[in-house]
Amino acid sequence: MSNCNWGIMATGKIAETFAKAINYTDGAKLYAAASRTEEKAKAFGEKYKAEKYYGSYRQLAEDENVDVIYIASPMAQHYENAKMCLLAGKNVLCEKTITLNSAQLDELIAIAKEKDLFFMEAMWMKMLPAFRKAKEWVSSGKIGEVRAVKADLTSMCRYDENDRLFRKDLGGGALLDIGVYPITFACEFLGYQPKEIISNCVIGKSDVDFDASMLLRYENGYADLCAAFNMDNCNPAYIIGTKGSIRFPEWFFCTGRVLLYDDDGNIVEESNDPHPCNGYEFEVAHVMSCLEKGLKESDLNPLWHTKATMKIMEKCRADWGFSYNGE
Ligand SMILES: NC(=O)c1ccc[n+]([C@@H]2O[C@H](COP(=O)([O-])OP(=O)(O)OC[C@H]3O[C@@H](n4cnc5c(N)ncnc54)[C@H](OP(=O)(O)O)[C@@H]3O)[C@@H](O)[C@H]2O)c1
For the CA atoms of 262, 300, 96, 34, what is the dihedral angle to 10 degrees?
140
CATH level 2 (architecture), domain 129-274+308-320: 2-Layer Sandwich (3.30)
CATH 3.30.360.10 residue ranges for the chain: 129-274+308-320
CATH level 2 (architecture), domain 4-124+287-294: 3-Layer(aba) Sandwich (3.40)
Q: What is the pLDDT of residues 74-126, one digit of tens each?
A: 999 999 999 999 999 999 999 999 999 999 999 999 999 999 999 999 999 99
C-alpha to C-alpha distance for 181 and 183, rounded to whole angstroms? 5
CATH 3.40.50.720 residue ranges for the chain: 4-124+287-294
| Residue stretches of the chain with pLDDT short of 50 | none
Residues with CB under 6 A from ligand 1: 10-15, 35-36, 40, 72-75, 77, 95-96, 122, 124, 164, 170, 177
- What's the one-letter identity of residue 204? G
- Of 78, 104, 164, the one to substitute when testing ligand 1's pocket (max ligand atoms within 8 A of C-beta) is 164
Q: What is the pLDDT of residues 38-79, one digit of tens each?
A: 999 999 999 999 999 999 999 999 999 999 999 999 999 999
Query: Residues for the chain: how many in total?
Result: 327
Enter the pTM of the model.
Answer: 0.97
